[in-house]
Amino acid sequence: MTPRSTEPRRDGSTSRRGSSRATGEDAGRSTGLGGIADARAYTPRGRTVREAAELRRNPRPARDTDPFRPALHVLDGGEPAPSRSGRRDPRQRAAQPARPPADEPRVSGRPGRSRDNAASVLPPRRRPDDARPTAASRGRGPAPAGRKPPRPPRGPRTPRPPRLADPRRRLRLATLLTLALFAVIGIRLIALQLVTTPAYADGGLQDRLSPPVVLPAARGSIYDRNEAVLAHSVEARYVYADPESVKDPGRAATLLSPLLGIPRSDLIKRLVKQKRPDGRWSQFEFLARGVDIDVAHKILELELPGIGIDRDERREAPGHDLAANLIGFVGQDMNGLEGLEARYDDVLRGINGEKVFEIGQGDLATEIPGGYSRVTEPKPGSSLVLTIDRDLQYEVQRILSQAMKQRKAKTAAAIVLDPRSGEVLAQASYPTYDAADPLKFDPVDREDAATSYVVDPGSVHKALIFAAALEEGLIKPDSTVTIGPAIRKGDTVFADTHHVDPGTRMTLPGLMAYSSNVGTIKIGALLGPQRIYDYQRRFGLGERTGVGVLGEASGRLLPPKEWSGSAYGSVPIGHSVDVTPLQMAAAFGAIANDGVWVQPHLIKEIVDHNGRSSSTPAPKTRQVISASSAAATRTIMEAVTTVPNATGLSAAIEGYRIAGKTGTGKRIVNGRYTSEEVASFIGMAPADNPRYVIAVFAHTPNGTGGAVAAPAFREMMAYTLRHYRVPPSGSKAPAFVVHR
């Protein structure tokens, strides 16, 4: 094996790479660059190729200036460094192996390079014959035949340096980890920005939002048939406080109390700091609603910290008590409590809006300009157009109140009805109240007597018995009935108030004019319980009319199976029959309308906040009796206002034919009769072509229908005919024969 050079090539050889010749001292040494010795002597701190070439051009430098020369010798095995003169030690030179002769042929395939250069470039190869020293070479003679030569002893192993990691693998791994990290961060950012953004944003926003501020929706108005205002909402202000911002609650309460009309003690409770049911501090408290605008301006001039005003509305009834029992009123929150205001509250009320906005904290707890704000605009309610005529309503109420005060009546009702359409033109109650301040009046005074009071109709019920008997053909307009002073039914004796002798034959107009109980009971006996009950139902008794008033009573009829012996006498003359004044007015409307019953109603149309109107469902109608039977009944009833000494003479109107009937009954409270009587009169005019029906019921200590209700009817009907310019009757009432 070729011995390794003990000295790396550090001489100043000037031989060119690839030269095959050398001269002088350099002839015995390899002069090629990049030999194995040079390669092993080259370290990160060794010479560069350019420096080695420079040394070859100048082999004997004056002074070795390489500062790392001692270290390189240490790396080479600790051999002594050459002298400062640049000459090598002869001992080192002797240890150099012999160089190949100068005329060594060139290595094939690499032109211009000698073998010695090739050997200096390529590491020496081991050959099998010189891989190990043989016995002959060691002086031991030839090795025995068939026996392998012994292995030479191995010298100490040189430890291999640790294998360095591949930088490319580390770079790829670091790149993958970096990309994975950025991917995770990117996915998380996308999730935060797009997927869960609303949740995080809302979570923080909720802490900065103010409590919802209600934007009241304007309540619809109530108009009469000519669109005159009966009840409407007007612009006002509400006063509120932010207890968090009120500096001096006592002083603020003292100043606000006289302006708002609220006791100081009540105001202080709303002005001091307080927690809401959800545990948060209250930042909004109502102090007053519906405050006049001028009063609100005075409050602003006080410049009280934490006190503010905002837009509100207040319900007003310009007529005060005009149709108050019919219209009703609203509460502080503009919700209907009684009457039409309560019955049609869902139509009138509308839908409130809401405002929520972002506020600051602490002393800056006000709306943030440009911050989050959500406003839901209020939707105003629709308006009601009634069938009521305001002028007629006023006169009917005035006449009723004046008459009832004179008679010291407790309760009274009056209805003006158009029998052809079923429209209620006026519906008055006594007593009444001021709808602008309803809580100052007794709850009983606020009831609508026409629909909530249940009464015994008394003798006005007799007209229905006559009409049913005529329709059934049991009697004719010229029929007569033999009567006496009294008649017994069951255990009760029923007598006439107008005395007649036994066996007196009286015509139908005479029976009606004198309100004969005996004659009516006999005609009722011809009908029988079942037919009486059927006609009562067909005339609309015993069931709600559906006029539209909240709390309307239905009344009650006595079924035939419940009739006792006395019921055969009491029911035909209007006792043991529970009805409302409006039901009786509608029944007489069927007689006035040629036998067609039309459902009474108060609502003409509904108008939304955009001005679009929608009509209400058409009223129910049904034919109760024929037109001829209705006409015959009207003629018979004219005797009540024309026959001498008749019960209804005080209802007559000059120039007009009036058909009607008086009555005296009882009021029923909690299923029991009261001690006072209910006087009534129901009539129509003109009798030959009825345009209007008016019913008057009065609960008085005493007095008959002719004395109490008929005079009030006359004034109401006279005004109604003049108001609607109804011409006088073209003919006079017939001359009635009473006895035959």
Catalytic residues, by residue number, are 459
- Here the tokens at position 260 are 């708002």
Spatial separation of the C-alpha atoms in residues 32 and 15, rounded to whole Å: 7
Both tokens of 536, joined, read: 């009562």
User: From the CA atom positions of the chain, what is the Rg in Å?
Assistant: 62
* Spatial CA neighbour of 443 closest among 325, 528, 317, 559: 325
SS3 at position 199: helix
Query: Which residue's entry shows tokens 């009760």?
Result: 492
Phi, psi angle pair for 209, to nearest 5°: -85, 145
- DSSP, collapsed to helix, strand or coil, labels residue 702 as coil
What is the C-alpha to C-alpha distance for residues 672 and 665, in angstroms, rounded to an integer?
13
Kindly give the residue spans of alpha helices, DSSP state H, lying in 84-166.
90-94, 115-121
In order of 151, 526, 558, 559, 564, the CA distances from 568 in angstroms are 153, 11, 11, 12, 7
| Residue carrying the six token digits 């319980």 | 529
The residue among 688, 708, 690, 689 whose CA lies nearest residue 698 is 708
Find the distance separating the first CA and the last CA of the chain, reported in whole Å.
175
CA distances to 524, 572, 583, 699, 705 from 456, in Å: 17, 12, 12, 11, 13
Residue/partner pairs of 708-712 with CB below 8 Å, 24 or more apart: 708/403, 708/407, 708/409, 708/679, 709/662, 709/679, 709/680, 709/681, 710/648, 710/649, 710/650, 710/651, 710/660, 710/662, 710/681, 711/403, 711/650, 711/651, 712/399, 712/400, 712/403, 712/414, 712/681
Exposure letters 161-187 (e unless 16+ CB within 10 A, then b): eeeeeeeeeeeeeeeeeeeeeeeeeee
Query: What's the burial of 443, exposed, middle or buried (CB within 10 Å: 0-12/13-18/19+)?
Result: exposed
User: How many H helices and E strands in the chain?
Assistant: 22, 21
- For residue 50, give every residue at least 6 positions away whose Cβ sits within 8 Å of its Cβ, in sequence order, or none: none
